[in-house]
Structure 1
Amino acid sequence: MMPPSSNSSTGGAEEGKQCIVNDHMGPFPVLYILIFIISLPGNLLSVWAFIRSPRAKQQSTSVYLVNLLVADLLLLLALPIKILKDLGAAPWSLMVFHCQASGVTIYISLYASIAFLAFIITDRYLQDCHTLSSLRLQEVGFARLLSLVVWMLLLLIMVPNMALPIQEVQEQRYLSCSSLKKDIGLHWHTLTVFLCTALFLNASAAVLLSSGLALKRLLGSRKEPKLWVDARRAAGSVAAVALAYVLSFVPYHVVRTPYTLAQTKVITDCQTKKQLFLGKESTLLLSVLHLCFDPLIFFYLYKPFRQTVRRMLPCSGNQTVGDTQEPTAEERMQPLTSEQRQDAV
C-alpha cells in the first residue's frame, strides 16, 4: 500500500508545499482506454494486411506507410502503462518506468507519426506532378534512407531522457515526471521539446506547401475536364491526410511550449500549472486519436493493402471504382512510371 502524498517538498515543490497537477485526471483514462480498444483491431489488421500484401515494399508510399504503422505499434505498446498511471492503479515502480521509458516512447511515436504523415502528404502530391526531381524523391531507396534518418534523429534526441540519471523522491500517490529529473535532465528535456517542435514546424511547412500546390493545380485545371478529374483526386487525398494531421498535432503544439515552461519552473503559479497540464493532456489525447484514423489512411492510400483486406471479407468479389481507375493523363504520357505507380492510386 503506497503512503499518501506528503506536503513536504519532493522536487517541483515550492515554498514547502507541493503543487500536484495530476490529481484530477477526470475522463482521460477512460478515453484512452476507448482509443486503445478501438484502434488495436485496426492496427493489428494493418500489420497482417501489410505482411500479406504483394509488392508491399516496392514503392515510396508503402515505405512511409509501413514506418507510420511501426510508430503506431510503439504507441499501442506504451499506452496501457500510461492508462494505469493515470488511473492511479500502477505501482510506484511502474510509474517511475513510465516517466523514464514508456512516456518517452509515446513521444518518439508521436513525432515519428508527424514526420511520416508529412512524407505521405508530400509523396501524394509528387505522385501527381511526375517531374524529374519528384521521381528522384520517390525512389524506394531514398524513402528508406529518409525513414532511417528520422528514426535515428528521434532516438538521438529522445534516448538521453531515458538514460540520464534521476533523483530519489518520496513514494507518493501522484507522481509528476519532472520531479524525478535532476537539473541536467530538465535542461535536456527542454532542449528535446524545442528540437521536436522544430521538427513539427518543418513537417508542417511541407504539409502546407504540398496542400497549397495541390489546391493550386486543382484550381488551374478547372477548364480541362480530364485534368480536373486527376487534380481533384490528388487534392482530395492530400487534403484528407492533411486534415487528420492538423486536427491531431496542431493543438498539442500550441500548448506544449508553455507547459514545458511550467515543468522547468519558469512558470511557478500552481493554478496555472494545473490548467496547462489539463490543456496538455487534452491535446495529447487528440494526438493519440490518430491511432484510430491511420488504418483508414492505409486502406485509402495503398491499393495492395485494400485488396488484401477485401479478400478477407465475405462479399469482396467486386472491386470498387477506386481499384479500377484509369491511368491519369500524365501517367498515359509516362508508361514506365505508371506501371510503378498504379497500385498507389
Structure 2
Amino acid sequence: MNPTSQFLGTTEYDYGYDENTAPCNEGNSFHRFKSIFLPILYCLVFVFCLLGNSLVLSVLLTRKRLTTMTTMPDICLVTFAASDLLFVVPLPFQAHYASDQWVFGNAMCKIMAGIYYTGFYSSIFFITLMSIDRYIAIVHAVYAMRIRTASCGIITSLILWLVAALASVPNIMFNQQLEIEQSVQCVSAYPPGDNTWKVASQFAANILGLLIPLSILICCYAQILKNLQKCKNRNKIKAIKMIFIIVIVFFLFWTPFNIALFLDSLQSLHVINDCKASYQIALALQLTETISFVHCCLNPVIYAFAGVTFKAHLKGLFQSCVRVFSSPVGGVGAGRLFPSAHPALWLL
C-alpha cells in the first residue's frame, strides 16, 4: 500500500481488477522511491514546517498576546499556523512507515489518519477564510469594521475546525492495521466489492480541497485586483504581485494531486481499467501528494513573513531575544499586528 495515500484512501498497489487475473507489480524503482526518498522528504517537510509555523505562532503570541488579538486576521493566522502544524504531525510516523512497515498499532493508525485529514482540510479552509477576509477588508472596508472582529474570527474558525473534523470521520472509520503479504500495513479497508465510500471520499477531497477553495480564491482576488486598480497607493504593485503568488502557488501545489486523485476515482469506477495506467496513477498519486506537502512549508513565507507589519514584529521579537540574553531585564512589546486602517498592508 502507498505509505502516504493510505491516509487518503487513494490507491492500492495490487492493481488487478479481476480477482482471476494476476496483479500488477509496482516495480523496483517505485519501491526504492518509497523506502529511500520519501522518509528523507517527510522529515525535511516536518522540520521546515515545524520551524516556520512555530515561529509564526511565537511572533503572534509574544508580540500580540492572546488578550490583544482583536481582529479576524489575528485569529486567522494563529489557526492557520496551527492547522499546518497539525497537517505534518503524522509525517514522522509516515517516514518510518515508508522505510519499513506500520509498527504503531491499530489505534495510532486511525488517530494519525484523523489528524492528517483534519489538518489537510483545515489548512485549505483557513487559506480560503483569509482570502475572504482580505476581500471584505479591501473591497468592503466600511462593512469590514463591523464583521472583522476577534469574536467573528473565533466562531468562524471553530466552525471550520468542526467541518474539517467531520470530513475526516470516514477515513478514521475505514483506516486500520492489517497484515498484507507478511507485512503490517496501515490501510483504508473498504467493504469488499463496493467502492462507494472510497470514491465518495476522493470526490469530497476534490470538491472541498480544490474546486470550492480555488473558486473562492479566484473570485475574491479578482475583486481585490479591481479595487486596487483604482488605488493610488505606492504599495499597490506589491499587493498585486502577492495576490498572484497566493493563487498560483495554491494552484500549482494542489491541482496535480487532485487530478491524480480524480483519475484514481475513475479507476475505482472501472472507467480506467488497465494495468499500466493503474501503475502510472499510483506513481502520480505518490509524487503529487508528496509535492503538496511542501505547500505547508511555504505558507508561513507567503502569509506571514512577506507582510511588512509581520516582519517588523518578527524583528522586534529577535531584538527582544537579544536583550534577554544580553541584559538581566528584557521586555516584549505588544502592538497591532495588522492595523485595521490599512487592510491592504497584510497582502504585502
TM-score tier (shorter): 0.7 to 0.9
User: Given the two structures, how large is their TM-score scaled by the length of structure 1?
Assistant: 0.75
Shift of 1:97: 6.0
Partner of 1:300: 306
Q: Is 1:71 paired with 2:76?
A: no
Per-residue deviation, 1:207: 0.7
Structure 2 counterparts to residues 253-272 of structure 1, below 5 A: 253-263=258-268, 267-272=272-277
Q: Does the residue aligned with 1:177 lie in a helix, a strand or coil?
A: strand
Contact 2:263 2:281 in 1 (8 A): yes
> For residue 31 of structure 2, what is the aligned residue in structure 1?
23
Alpha-carbon distance between aligned partners in 2 of 1:102 and 1:264, rounded to the nearest angstrom: 27
Matched residue type, 2:57 = V
Write the distance in 1 (CA, Å) between the matches of 2:104 and 2:321: 50
- Going from structure 1 to structure 2, the CA distance change for 1:260 and 1:313 (only over 3 Å counts) comes to farther
Higher mean C-alpha deviation, range 304-313 or range 136-145: 304-313
Q: What residue is the counterpart of 1:236 in the other structure? A: 241
SS of aligned partner of 2:126: helix
Deviation at 1:259, TM superposition (A): 1.7
Contact 2:84/2:296 (CA < 8 Å) preserved in 1?
yes
Alpha-carbon distance in 2 for matches of 1:114, 1:152: 14
Q: CA deviation at 1:344?
A: 5.0
SS in 2 for 1:53: helix
Give the match for residue 152 of structure 2.
Answer: 142
1:187 paired to 2:196: yes
* Contact 2:79/2:157 (8 A) holds in 1: yes
Tell me the residue number matched to 2:6.
Answer: none
Q: Is the 8 A contact 1:301 1:344 kept in 2?
A: yes
1:53 to 1:188, Cα distance in 2 relative to 1, 3 A:
farther
Residues 190-230 of structure 1: per-residue CA shift (max 9 Å, x gap): 22222232223121111101221232234445xxxxx2425
Instruction: Quote the residue 1:83 is aligned against.
Output: 95
Provide the residue aligned with 1:107 in structure 2.
Answer: 117
Kindly provide the amino acid, as one letter, of the partner of residue 201 in structure 2.
T
Comparing 115-124 with 263-272, which one deviates more in the overlay? 263-272
Alignment of 1:1-345 (within 5 A): 14-15=19-20, 17-19=22-24, 21=26, 23-26=31-34, 27-54=37-64, 57-87=69-99, 89-94=100-105, 100-164=110-174, 169-173=179-183, 175=185, 177-178=187-188, 180-183=189-192, 186-199=195-208, 200-221=210-231, 227-263=232-268, 267-296=272-301, 297-301=303-307, 303=309, 306-313=312-319, 338=341
Question: Aligned partner of 1:338: which letter?
Answer: A
Partner SS for 1:17: coil
Distance 2:45 2:142 in 1: 42
Distance in 2 of aligned mates of 1:309 and 1:241: 24
Distance in 1 of aligned mates of 2:22 and 2:170: 30
SS at match of 2:139: coil
Give 1:321's aligned residue: none
Call closer, same or farther: CA 1:19–1:142 in 2, change over 3 Å: farther
- How far did residue 235 of structure 1 move? 2.5
Give the C-alpha shift of residue 279 in structure 1.
1.0
Q: Distance in 2 between matches of 1:150 and 1:52?
A: 25
Q: Count residues with an aligned counterpart.
A: 312
Q: Which residue of 2 aligns with 1:323?
A: none
CA 1:164–1:177: 2 relative to 1, 3 Å: closer
Q: Is the 8 A contact 1:50 1:305 kept in 2?
A: no
Distance 2:321 2:245 in 1: 27
Runs of 4+ more than 6 Å apart: 9-13, 314-317
Task: Report what 1:320 is aligned to.
Answer: none
Q: Deviations over 1:79-106 (max 9, x none)?
A: 111222222x234555x66753424432
The residue identity in structure 2 corresponding to 1:182 is P
Give the AA of the match of 1:189: K
Distance 2:136 2:242 in 1: 12
The alignment's TM-score, normalised by the length of structure 2, stands at 0.74
Q: Distance in 2 between matches of 1:295 and 1:165?
A: 31
CA displacement 1:236-265 (0-9 Å, x = unmatched) = 333332233222212221221112333566
